[in-house]
Every structure is written in C-alpha cells, then in structure tokens.
Amino acid sequence: GVYDDVSIVYTELANCPDWLPLAVFVKGERFRLDRGQVLGYQRQLDLRRGVVSRDVRWRSPAGHTVDLHFERFASLADPHLVAVRCQVMPLDFEGYIKIQAGLDGYPDNLGGKHWQILDQGDEVGQVWLHTRTRHTGVELGMAASLVLQGSRETRHWTMDCDGLPTLAAGYQAQREQTVTATKLVSVYTSRDLERMQAERQVADKAEVPPQMRATLDTFWAEMEAEGSIGESRPYTVADAATGKLNELLERRLRYEDLLAAHEAAWGEVWQASDVIIEGDPTAQLAVRYNLFQVLIAAPRHDDRVSIPAKTLSGFGYRGHVFWDTDVFIVPFLTHTQPALARNLLTYRYHTLPGARRKARAEGYQGAMFAWESAGTGDEVTPRWVPGPQGEEQVRIWCGDIELHITADVAYAAWCYWQATGDDDWMCDYGAEIILDTAVFWGSRAEWDANRGCYEIRDVIGPDEYHEHLDNNAFTYRMVQWHLETALEVLAWLRREHSDRATALEHQLDLTPERLRHWADIIGCMLVLHDPESDLIEQFEGFFDLEDVNLADYEPRTQSMHAILGIEGTNKSQVLKQADV
C-alpha cells in the first residue's frame, strides 16, 4: 500500500496504476457488455484458489458470436506478480481478431490524481511504466508481456500512447478454434528496492535460506548487469519490473506454473486459517469470504503498511487504519498467520514518531496513536464532513478525543507476545510501543482532589454516538490495564534484556518518579460501579439519559443516529455499538 496526499484531497491510499486493461476486438468491433448481445454470462470468485474468472458468450453488433473466458490472479507466491488470461473461441465466423494489453498510468481516487508519469517505454515483448506519487515521492514500476497460444500468422506490435503503453497482437481466427492470450505483469515500488538492499546487507553478514539467497543474488546480478549503479543512470523500479519478466522468460515459467505456485500458497494459508461451520452453508460462505478479504489485504512483505478499515474493497475511509485492525484482525492472524500479525504490529512501531508528534501537539507526553492512521502515523481523521443528509458540515471529534486506540494497540501487542512467545519482537519493538504509550496515559490522567481519584475526562468510547464523556468505563479500564502491563514489560526487560531496558529508560525518561505515578493511577482510578445493581456505568451520567424503546421506530431503514440526530443520540441510551 502506498499513501499520498495532494492539495484539497485528504491523505489516502493511492489507487495503483491499472494493470488490468485487456481488450478483444472481433473483426474490428471491441467486446463490450453494453454493445451487441450478451447471450450468456457467469462471473465467479474462487476463494480457495484466489482466482477471479468470467465466462461470456457475446454476439457483436455485426452478428459475430464468440465465447470468451477471462481469469486473473494476484500471486500469493510472488508479491510482485499478477496475471490475466483470456481465451477466445469464434462460434460462427472466421476472421481477424485483435487483442490489446496495456498499463494505465492515469488512475484516480474518486477524482483525486496521485501519480505522475516519469517515463514509459517498450523492449522486446514488453511495455513498461514508471510513475511516482505527487507528494510522498514513492515510485512504482510496472512491466507487462503478452503471449498468444493457438493462433496462426500472429502479428505483434506496441502502441506508445502517453501514460498508456500497450501491447497488441492480431491473428486470423478459425471457427471453434480457441486462442489463449496471457498477460503477465510485474510490479515494484521504491520501498521494495530499499527493502531488498537492506536484506542484501543482512544476507552478506549472515547465513540465509538458499531460496532467499538465490532471489537476492538474482536481483543484484540484474542491477549490476544493467551497468547502471553509479554509472549511466540509477537502477529504477521499472528496471526491476522488466527484470522480473525477463527472469520468468529465462526460466521458461508458463502461466500454468505461476498459477500452480499461487494455488499452493493459498492451500497453505487456508490450511492454517480456515474456519469450518457445519450445517449452515450460507454462514460458511460468509465467513470464508470475510477471511479472504482479510488475508488478501494483509501485508506479507512490508511492515510499513497495515490493513485499512475497509480492507482493499474500495475507497471507504480513504484506506486509513483504525483500531479495528488491532482489536479484531490482529488476534485472528496471531493464532493463524503470526508473521502477518507481526507485520501489522510492526507498522504501529514505525508510526511511533507520528504518535509522538500528535501527543506533543495536544500538550501531552509520550506517544498518542492517531485515530485514523496512514503512512506516517500522523493524525489524518477529517475534522469536518458533510452531514448524513448532505446538510452543513459536521464536526468529527474522533481524531481529538477517541483515545482508547492508544491502549488498544498496546493490548494487541501484548496479546501477540503472550500467544507467540516472540521475545525478540517484544524486546525490539513491542516494549517501546507499550512503554511510550503508557507515558502518554500518565500525562493524560487527571487528579480530582475532591473525589480522591484519577479521571479520564472528555473522551469518546467505542460507542461513537456519545461524545465528550467523562470517565468512559472502557477507556479507564484499558488505561489501568495498560499501565499495569507497562510495569510488567519493564520488569521483564530488566530481567531478560537489561541493555534494552536501560536504553528505553533513558530514551523515554522512565524515572522512578514516573513509575510511581503510574502505580498511583492504577490504584486510584475512578470506577463507576453501582453496588445496588452491580452494573458498571458506560460513562458518567449514562444512566440519566433517556431510555429509548427501539421497537417504537420499526420498521425503519435509517440508523437511529440519522433519525434522532447528533444531539438526540447524545441525550439517549441508544448505542452505535456497545463498549464491551
């Protein structure tokens, strides 16, 4: 995932240049669902194999009927490889068919443009594209190849359209003869090159598995073969992309080979991650579909990105990362794909500088995680949005006072450590997350001399229908737990990794006075417990709010927030979601 921000547009996950374009022309007429006649249509997503396919029987406006089978996959075995295949069979004609396969360098995010084209070109059997995000400066290179099988007298050529480099092939089609067009695309970003260079430095100093060594050796051999390091020009992401396709050609790897490796990788993932429900096929499909969405969005080779609230399913929330990832997704991955959980939590470590900037800006110490996070960890929650009916702008307070996310991240880190026993990660990354966010809570808790206790005032809990709350139960209990855990982690570090403990004590200013302050907060936190009912009040004053009978509003198609309005929900016991 690559984030970018441009004028007027929020920081958001940039829609990648499009690798999908593949067009079929039947005797000069382009296949389109909105033209001619669709005589048959089926589209499916194979969750087990991770393959999307589509079968169409189409009659062109001129009356030529053709069967088309499309399928595509983004390789789980190789994060730099995607593939598209199209099979074309004329049913009632013979004649000229043309296939075009290109790269589109002009994607947008609902109108926002994030990429600028640096260069493009072609070489034998390939076209390539080199782009860069306008603000964050992340470069992306793509290369594509096109191969036809089963055709006779095929002619190949390229079209060097600005920002749309395209491969084309034409042939004389025979009735009921299938021709298969295979488009392979490789993708690299500048972050990939930086990571591979770092891995090479590590590999040069240590023994690594033969497969990793071979991959790194191939990559650096290609760089050196270009003769470009420090010479005529620097090695680019476009060079890496074209090099990947050349490697496939040299190894004579076919589409079937790449698909088999992809399917094998999915087989291993499902073996570890599947949830089986007996007796309810609908629930089974729903669970597997949602697991699939999580698994395809999880970063396998990059710990500087995470899983957005809407995964990769669309532009919702602009690709921002919320507490949902840490509280709901990380636990699942911790027990099924711990390496992926580790990446998601290490993303939080890399965003600590942004969390520290936010704490300072708000007048606090330590690290205060953003409610909505992107590439740097700085707060990217919009402060104003249009109202639900498109009326005047509504103030969004989540980025200011929905603070529980800071404890949520620490909780996810702790649970990962407890489940996996990954002491190295806790020592190198997790401890700093837990301790510096504890420093924040130490500066955020307020002493009430009249009550003789600490309070957490002016917050939003998980139930976002209620804002500007004092002593939200979920928040203050998480703060208590967080400070208790921070003291445990520091004690563990002192026992097992004394050098790291000393370094963090100095870096984070973990003085004896600060640690005693944490202990005071733990022991003197206000608890809203009603001894008569044995209930814990969700926040101070919740029991005094209007008790609304939801049945009185049925049937309804709108949320209670839309019906009652912001003020109405704030004054009632209607919840967006329960805090616990």
Q: How far is CA 498 from CA 147, 429, 445, in A?
A: 59, 15, 29
What pLDDT is stored for residue 577 in this prediction?
A: 85
Give domain 3-188's CATH architecture.
Answer: Distorted Sandwich (2.70)
- Calculate the average pLDDT of the chain: 94
Q: What's the mean pLDDT in 139-167?
A: 95
- Asked if 464 and 404 count as a contact pair (C-beta separation under 8 A), the reply is no
**Single-letter amino acid code for the residue at 42:** Q
**Single-letter amino acid code for the residue at 349:** Y
Query: Is the pLDDT reported for residue 387 higher than 90?
Result: no
Question: 3-188 with 302-570: one CATH topology?
Answer: no
Altogether, the residues listed in the chain come to a count of: 580
- Asked if 12 and 112 count as a contact pair (C-beta separation under 8 A), the reply is yes
Question: What 3-state DSSP class applies to 329?
Answer: helix
Per-residue confidence band for 306, with pLDDT thresholds at 50, 70 and 90: very high
HEC secondary structure over 133-192: ECCCCCEEEEEEEEEEECCCCCEEEEEEECCEEEEEEEEEECCCCCEEEEEEEEEEEHHH
- Asked if 541 and 534 count as a contact pair (C-beta separation under 8 A), the reply is no
Which of 16-20, 309-313, 392-396 is predicted with the least confidence, judged by mean pLDDT? Answer: 392-396
HEC secondary structure over 366-382: CCCCCCCECCCCCCCCC
Which own/partner pairs from 523-529 qualify as long-range (CB within 8 Å, at least 24 positions apart)?
524/452, 524/453, 524/454, 525/445, 525/453, 525/454, 525/476, 525/479, 525/480, 526/448, 526/451, 526/453, 526/454, 526/455, 526/471, 526/476, 527/476, 528/471, 528/473
- Asked if 399 and 370 count as a contact pair (C-beta separation under 8 A), the reply is yes
Tens-place pLDDT, residues 468-482: 999 999 999 999 999
Tens-place pLDDT, residues 524-557: 999 999 899 999 999 999 999 999 999 999 999 9
What pLDDT is stored for residue 172 in this prediction?
A: 97
**Single-letter amino acid code for the residue at 177:** Q
CATH number of 302-570: 1.50.10.10
For residues 351 and 369, give the distance between their C-alpha atoms in angstroms, rounded to a whole number.
8
Tens-place pLDDT, residues 224-253: 555 444 445 689 999 999 999 999 999 999
What pLDDT is stored for residue 10 in this prediction?
A: 76
Query: Is the pLDDT reported for residue 80 higher than 80?
Result: yes
For residues 382 and 372, give the distance between their C-alpha atoms in angstroms, rounded to a whole number.
9
For residues 534 and 531, give the distance between their C-alpha atoms in angstroms, rounded to a whole number.
5
| Phi, psi of 295, rounded to the nearest 5 degrees | -70, -35
**Single-letter amino acid code for the residue at 104:** D
Per-residue confidence band for 214, with pLDDT thresholds at 50, 70 and 90: low
For residues 399 and 396, give the distance between their C-alpha atoms in angstroms, rounded to a whole number.
7
- Asked if 144 and 20 count as a contact pair (C-beta separation under 8 A), the reply is no
What pLDDT is stored for residue 175 in this prediction?
A: 97
Active-site pick, 247, 464, 484, 537: 464
Tens-place pLDDT, residues 118-130: 999 998 889 999 9
What pLDDT is stored for residue 227 in this prediction?
A: 45
Query: Is the pLDDT reported for residue 217 higher than 90?
Result: no
CA angle 294, 298, 300 (to 5 degrees): 145
To the query of whether residue 432 is one of the catalytic residues in this protein, the response is no
More confident residue, 392 or 134: 134
Per-residue confidence band for 400, with pLDDT thresholds at 50, 70 and 90: very high
pTM of model > 0.75:
yes
User: What proportion of the chain, given as a percentage, has pLDDT over 90?
Assistant: 85
For residues 536 and 366, give the distance between their C-alpha atoms in angstroms, rounded to a whole number.
30
Pair type for strands 384-386 and 12-13 = unpaired
What residue segments make up the domains of the chain, in order of their start? Answer: 3-188, 302-570
Tens-place pLDDT, residues 333-384: 999 999 999 999 999 999 999 999 999 999 999 999 999 999 999 999 999 9
Peptide bond into 555 cis (omega under 30): yes
What pLDDT is stored for residue 199 in this prediction?
A: 77
What pLDDT is stored for residue 222 in this prediction?
A: 58
Which of 69-78, 288-297, 452-461, 562-571 is predicted with the least confidence, judged by mean pLDDT? Answer: 562-571
For residues 94 and 176, give the distance between their C-alpha atoms in angstroms, rounded to a whole number.
9
- Asked if 551 and 560 count as a contact pair (C-beta separation under 8 A), the reply is no
What pLDDT is stored for residue 229 in this prediction?
A: 44
What pLDDT is stored for residue 122 in this prediction?
A: 94
Per-residue confidence band for 162, with pLDDT thresholds at 50, 70 and 90: very high
